[in-house]
Amino acid sequence: MKSDGLIELLSDTADIVAPRLLGCEIEHVLDDQLLRGRVVETEAYDQTDAASHSYRGRTPRTDVMFGPPGRLYVYFTYGMYYCCNVVTGPEGHGSAVLLRAIEPLSGEDAMLANRQAASKAEINGVQITNGPAKLCQALRLDKQANGHDLRQPPIRLVVKPPLKPADIVSTSRIGISQATDAPWRFYLKNNPYVSKL
């Protein structure tokens, strides 16, 4: 298990893992095209937290959240979008870290092509991946990726050394109506791809 640094890292609780994932990289190899991005914004969700999908217990949708750490939890929302999480904590405990924004490192052209920004004038700059549903479109993560083991291709999470605490900002979460004061959103200070200041 020495080589399983990823699982060891993700075995902690979501609020500990969330800031630790900043600076790590997620990649999706699709048709020989490498899509890779650096995680710059995350949010922690736990079963003891009223804002979490896992709060009301294990259901068909949240099943993956209660499974072993290191898997991908992809959920469908607002009738048209997907958002992806990294499952954390011990098996049987429903917790995960929502990936809210990434900074493209490789395959940016393909990411732009994957974004279905309707009849948009143009997606300029950071708008390509500065939001949970946006990065899922860019990386082409959908229902099929739900439950995927992030140690295995084609979708992998690459661990990087921890960042300095001074470079991480902690605030309340976005887009929720419960537990709105909990400081479980984390992002890289001064990174332009962060979804909202």
- Closest CB to DNA among residues 36, 173: 173
If binding is defined by CB under 7 A, does position 176 make contact with DNA?
Answer: yes
| Number of other CB atoms surrounding residue 103 within 10 Å | 23
If binding is defined by CB under 7 A, does position 106 make contact with DNA?
Answer: no
Q: Which residues sit opposite 27 in a β-bridge?
A: 36, 156
Alpha helices in the chain (DSSP H): 5-10, 14-20, 108-114, 132-139
Size of the site for DNA (CB under 7 A): 42
Among 127, 142, 147, 149, binds DNA (CB under 7 A): 127
CA distance 60 to 80: 19
- Closest CB to DNA among residues 3, 119: 119
The amino acid that residue 74 corresponds to is V
Decide if 22 contacts 28 (C-beta within 8 A): no
CB of 87 to DNA, least distance (A): 10
CA distance 36 to 108: 8
If binding is defined by CB under 7 A, does position 139 make contact with DNA?
Answer: no
CB of 103 to DNA, least distance (A): 15
- Closest CB to DNA among residues 3, 144: 144
User: Which DSSP letter does residue 71 get?
Assistant: B
**Taking the alpha carbons of 143, 43, 194, 8 in that order, is the dihedral positive or negative?**
negative
- Closest CB to DNA among residues 36, 185: 185
DSSP state string for 149-185: BTTSTTEEEE--PPPPGGGEEEE--SS-SSSTT---E
CB of 133 to DNA, least distance (A): 3
Window 24-83: residues binding DNA (CB under 7 A):
43, 45, 51-54, 56, 59-62, 65, 73, 75-81, 83
Among 7, 29, 112, 123, binds DNA (CB under 7 A): 123
Helix/strand/coil for 123:
coil
- Closest CB to DNA among residues 23, 184: 184
Site residues for DNA per CB under 7 A = 43, 45, 51-54, 56, 59-62, 65, 73, 75-81, 83, 85, 96, 98, 115, 117-121, 123, 127, 131-134, 173-177, 195
